[in-house]
C-alpha cells in the first residue's frame, strides 16, 4: 500500500495552500504601494493618474513600509452630475436674465442712480425725489447678489466631486461623467506605516487613506467601474 505517499501528497498540498494564502495580499495594497513610491519620488505625472491627494516627502516624510490594518465597508451615493449640470444652466440663465433687466433699469434711471450712489458714498441722505430709485436700486443689487450666490453655490456642488470622477472615468473608456448616472463608491483603508521624517527619524504612524471611484451607468448593459482614486491621506 502507498498510504504514506498519499499522506505526503496531502501534506504537500496543504502546505502549498497555506503558502498561497500567506502570499495573498489585499486588493488595495498595489495601489497604495504605487502611491507611496510615486510620492517618495515626487512623480507628479504618475500621481496625477490616480490620486487627488499628496503625501509630500518634504513635509510628511517617506513611507518605507506599511501593513493594512482594516478596510471600511464601501459607502455609495448616487452620481447627480446630469441634474447638477442642469441646475447650473438654470441658475446661469436666471442670473443672466436678472442682469439684463437690471441693466435696462439702470439705463432708464442712470442720472438718479448716480445721485443715489454719490449720496451713499458721502454718507448723506438722498434727495426726496430719488428715494424711490434708491429703494429700487437697493433691491436690484440685493437680488443680483442672491442670483450670483445661487449660481456660485450650484457650480461649487457640481465641481466638488467632478474632477475625481473624471479621473476615475479614465479607467472606463468612453464615459463622460457629465452625461451618465451611476454611483460614487468610497472606502477608508487604515494602515500602520513606517514613516521616515524629513529629519531622518523613522516612526510608526497610523494613516487612513480614502479611496473613491465611480461606477457609471451608461445605459448600455452592465455599469462600468472606473479606477480607484486616492482622495485623502490623514
Mean pLDDT value across the chain:
89
In the 3-class helix/strand/coil scheme, how is 55-76 assigned residue by residue?
A: CCCCCCCEEEEEEEEEECCCEE
Quick one: average pLDDT of 125-152?
Answer: 97
Tell me the CA end-to-end span of the chain in Å, nearest whole number: 62
Query: Does pLDDT of 76 surpass 60?
Result: yes
Q: Where are the domains of the chain?
A: 28-79+180-233, 82-161
- Tens of pLDDT, residue by residue over 6-42, are 333 333 333 333 433 334 578 999 999 999 999 999 9
Query: Does pLDDT of 63 surpass 50?
Result: yes
What fold is seen in the domain 28-79+180-233? Answer: Nuclear Transport Factor 2; Chain: A, (3.10.450)
Q: 15, 34, 26: which is closest to 230 by C-alpha?
A: 34
Residue 207: beta bridge partners? 191
The residue ranges of DSSP E strands in 33-138, in sequence order, are 62-71, 75-78
Residue 35 exposed, middle or buried by CB count within 10 Å (0-12, 13-18, 19+): buried
pLDDT band at 104 (very low <50, low <70, confident <90, very high): very high
- The one-character DSSP state at 51 is B
The pLDDT score that the predictor gives to residue 172 is: 80
pTM of the model: 0.76
CA 3 to chain CA mean position, Å = 61
The pLDDT score that the predictor gives to residue 201 is: 95
CA 225 to chain CA mean position, Å = 17
Proportion of the chain above pLDDT 70, given as a percent: 90
Quick one: average pLDDT of 163-183?
Answer: 90
Proportion of the chain above pLDDT 90, given as a percent: 84
Query: Does pLDDT of 105 surpass 50?
Result: yes
Amino acid at each position: 500500500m502507498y498510504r504514506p505517499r498519499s499522506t505526503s501528497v496531502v501534506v504537500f498540498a496543504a502546505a502549498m495552500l497555506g503558502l498561497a494564502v500567506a502570499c495573498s495580499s489585499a486588493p488595495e495594497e498595489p495601489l497604495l504601494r504605487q502611491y507611496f513610491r510615486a510620492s517618495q519620488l515626487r512623480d507628479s505625472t504618475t500621481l496625477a493618474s490616480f490620486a487627488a491627494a499628496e503625501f509630500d516627502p518634504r513635509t510628511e516624510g517617506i513611507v518605507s513600509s506599511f501593513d493594512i490594518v482594516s478596510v471600511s465597508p464601501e459607502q455609495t451615493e448616487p452620481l447627480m452630475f446630469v441634474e447638477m449640470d442642469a441646475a447650473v444652466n438654470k441658475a446661469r440663465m436666471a442670473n443672466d436674465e436678472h442682469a439684463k433687466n437690471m441693466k435696462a433699469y439702470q439705463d432708464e434711471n442712470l442720472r438718479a442712480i448716480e445721485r443715489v450712489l454719490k449720496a451713499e458714498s458721502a454718507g448723506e441722505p438722498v434727495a426726496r425725489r430719488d428715494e424711490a430709485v434708491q429703494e429700487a436700486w437697493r433691491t436690484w443689487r440685493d437680488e443680483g447678489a442672491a442670483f450670483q450666490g445661487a449660481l456660485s453655490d450650484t457650480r461649487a456642488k457640481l465641481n466638488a466631486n467632478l474632477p475625481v470622477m473624471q479621473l476615475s472615468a479614465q479607467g472606463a473608456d468612453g464615459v463622460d461623467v457629465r452625461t451618465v448616472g451611476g454611483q460614487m463608491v468610497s472606502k477608508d483603508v487604515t494602515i500602520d506605516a513606517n514613516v521616515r521624517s524629513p529629519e531622518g527619524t523613522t516612526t510608526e504612524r497610523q494613516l487612513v487613506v480614502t479611496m473613491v471611484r465611480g461606477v457609471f451607468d451608461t445605459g448600455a448593459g452592465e455599469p462600468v467601474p472606473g479606477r480607484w482614486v486616492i482622495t485623502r491621506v490623514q
